[in-house]
């Protein structure tokens, strides 16, 4: 039997520059929501070189809306294509789905970035830029794992399906469109930024919008009004208490290193219309984490009930209740048993590549894994080279060495999972 691991390692060493170059080109395309097409063109060109069967389509929002998992702030997906490449196996093996999102979150305040946010600059062994860690580095690892196997002449029994999807950052419409288009597999890997840990469970999440009411007045007699800003501060403290209560219930050891397993994040706040007036309305928008074992419906009910309790602190809310709206996006949680063969296969490959067993944890954030497992019924694990701590941060980066190692681990897992054809 050939020492495929040694061959793969040599191949990766030879192709390091090419790997970094593709990652830089990916990062340099600012693929925020609605601007994914330029980077997808580079993906398509790469899949063409790999001679995969290519499927490119703009998801049909009418079809998507029929599925209850669908959420999106968009009215259509024009000019935002999904791209899938399939490498057909010789038959008789398990298939694997390799899924990565190509959309990135906005860069935020440019003042916090050392370089231009989409520079793709290489410095101290890292590639910098929005999307480098979340998750273009992971996507590049998937593509080069396939390329390495092909160029080393390894033929597989099972199919390998690579998906470059839109909209993960806004609720997963891209991956849902792949599932609804019929893409299935015996297992899936999503190389989101796990810092090379294996995440067998992922936190789901939902977006909420809360409208807090006050009563306007002239700022010079502000005591005659009721400040919606002050009421919003009370409400935020109330939500901080809900976060404490919810997290106190999480006892899963997979979360032992996670300070807040299911956080409540207040992401935006906006209220008042005039500096000299008392604000009569504040709107806050945020994200609530959903534990892997929780049902979205139960979490919604818990929040609704909790909001009612704020009247105990301040009777203003009795007569001016906060309006709650679940809007925009949600991500289903995902759970895969740590004893599942896909976890075993990935863990074994990890240990062969790294020389020590992997850390298996639950992720503090949602991924498209919830859609793959809950809607697509595909056992899904999340594992990737990106750095959890810098995802959605200014000065986002990824270690080139991690990308190379993840590529090796994914290539080994594909071989083990799909099996080599005679």
Residues that bind its own copies (CB under 8 A): 105-106, 108-109, 112, 134, 169, 203, 205, 207-208, 215-225, 227, 229-230, 232-233, 236, 259-260, 263, 265-282, 284-287, 289, 328-329, 363-366, 388-389, 391-394
Closer Cβ to its own copies, 241 or 344, answer by number: 241
Instruction: Determine the Cα angle at 71 with ends 65 and 72, to 5°.
Output: 100
Closer Cβ to its own copies, 60 or 285, answer by number: 285
* Distance in Å, CB of 191 to its own copies, minimum: 16
Closer Cβ to its own copies, 24 or 133, answer by number: 133
- Annotated catalytic residue 109: no
Q: Which residues contact 331 (CB under 8 A, 6 or more apart)?
A: 171, 172, 204, 205, 206, 290, 365, 366, 367, 368, 370
* Distance in Å, CB of 96 to its own copies, minimum: 26
Q: Which residues contact 117 (CB under 8 A, 6 or more apart)?
A: 30, 107, 110, 129, 130, 394
* Distance in Å, CB of 28 to its own copies, minimum: 21
Residue keyed to tokens 């009910």: 301
Strands 198-202 and 397-399, sheet pairing: unpaired
Closer Cβ to its own copies, 134 or 416, answer by number: 134
Q: Considering 36, 168, 368, 416, which one is annotated as catalytic?
A: 168
DSSP element (H, E) containing 23: helix 16-28
Closer Cβ to its own copies, 289 or 358, answer by number: 289
Q: Which residues contact 377 (CB under 8 A, 6 or more apart)?
A: 184
- Annotated catalytic residue 55: no
Closer Cβ to its own copies, 34 or 157, answer by number: 34
* Distance in Å, CB of 40 to its own copies, minimum: 22
Phi, psi of 218 (to 5 degrees): -70, 135
* Distance in Å, CB of 382 to its own copies, minimum: 12
Closer Cβ to its own copies, 113 or 162, answer by number: 113
Are 292 and 396 contacting, i.e. CB atoms less than 8 angstroms apart? no
62, two tokens: 């009418």
1, two tokens: 């039997």
Are 283 and 210 contacting, i.e. CB atoms less than 8 angstroms apart? yes
Closer Cβ to its own copies, 9 or 195, answer by number: 195
Q: Which residues contact 205 (CB under 8 A, 6 or more apart)?
A: 287, 288, 289, 290, 330, 331, 365, 366
Strands (E), 225-370: 264-271, 281-290, 323-331, 334-335, 360-363
How far from 125 is each of 171, 259, 402, CA to CA, in Å? 32, 29, 10
* Distance in Å, CB of 132 to its own copies, minimum: 14
Q: How many helices (H) and strands (E) does the chain have?
A: 12, 16
Distance between CA atoms of residues 373 and 160, nearest Å: 17
* Distance in Å, CB of 282 to its own copies, minimum: 7
Are 47 and 98 contacting, i.e. CB atoms less than 8 angstroms apart? no
* Distance in Å, CB of 68 to its own copies, minimum: 20
Q: Considering 103, 281, 294, 361, which one is annotated as catalytic?
A: 103
Q: Is the peptide bond before 192 cis (omega within 30 degrees of 0)?
A: no
**Active site residue ranges:** 103, 168
């Amino acid at each position: 039997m050939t020492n495929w691991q040694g061959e793969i390692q040599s191949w990766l060493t030879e192709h390091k520059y090419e790997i970094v170059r593709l990652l830089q080109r990916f990062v340099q395309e600012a693929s925020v929501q609605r601007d994914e097409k330029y980077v997808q063109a580079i993906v398509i060109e790469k899949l063409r070189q790999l001679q995969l069967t290519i499927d490119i389509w703009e998801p049909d929002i009418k079809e998507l809306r029929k599925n209850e998992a669908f959420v999106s702030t968009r009215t259509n997906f024009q000019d935002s294509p999904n791209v899938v490449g399939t490498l057909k196996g010789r038959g008789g093996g398990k298939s694997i789905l390799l899924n990565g999102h190509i959309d990135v979150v906005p860069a935020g305040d440019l003042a916090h970035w050392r370089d231009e946010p989409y520079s793709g600059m290489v410095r101290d062994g890292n590639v910098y830029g929005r999307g480098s860690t979340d998750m273009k580095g992971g996507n590049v690892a998937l593509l080069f794992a396939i390329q390495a196997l092909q160029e080393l002449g390894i033929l597989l029994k099972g199919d390998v399906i690579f998906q470059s999807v839109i909209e993960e950052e806004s609720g997963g419409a891209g991956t849902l469109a792949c599932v609804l288009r019929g893409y299935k597999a015996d297992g899936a890997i999503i190389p989101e930024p796990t810092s090379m840990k294996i995440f067998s469970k992922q936190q789901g999440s939902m977006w909420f919008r809360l409208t807090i009411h006050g009563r306007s007045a002239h700022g010079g007699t502000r005591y005659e009004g009721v400040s919606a800003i002050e009421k919003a501060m009370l409400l935020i403290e109330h939500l901080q208490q809900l976060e404490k209560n919810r997290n106190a219930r999480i006892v899963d050891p997979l979360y032992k290193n996670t300070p807040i397993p299911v956080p409540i994040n207040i992401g935006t706040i906006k209220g008042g219309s005039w500096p000299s007036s008392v604000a009569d309305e504040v709107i806050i928008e945020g994200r609530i984490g959903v534990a892997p074992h929780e049902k979205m419906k139960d979490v919604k009910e818990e929040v609704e009930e909790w909001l009612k309790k704020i009247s105990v602190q301040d009777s203003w809310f009795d007569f001016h209740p906060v309006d709650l709206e679940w809007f925009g996006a949600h991500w289903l949680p995902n759970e895969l048993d740590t004893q599942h063969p896909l976890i075993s296969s990935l863990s074994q490959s990890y240990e062969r590549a790294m020389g020590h067993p992997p850390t298996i944890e639950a992720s503090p954030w949602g991924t498209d894994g919830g859609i793959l497992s809950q809607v697509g019924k595909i056992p899904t694990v999340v594992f990737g080279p990106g750095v959890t701590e810098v995802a959605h941060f200014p000065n986002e980066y990824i270690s080139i060495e991690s990308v190379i190692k993840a590529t090796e681990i994914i290539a080994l897992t594909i071989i083990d999972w799909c099996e080599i054809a005679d």
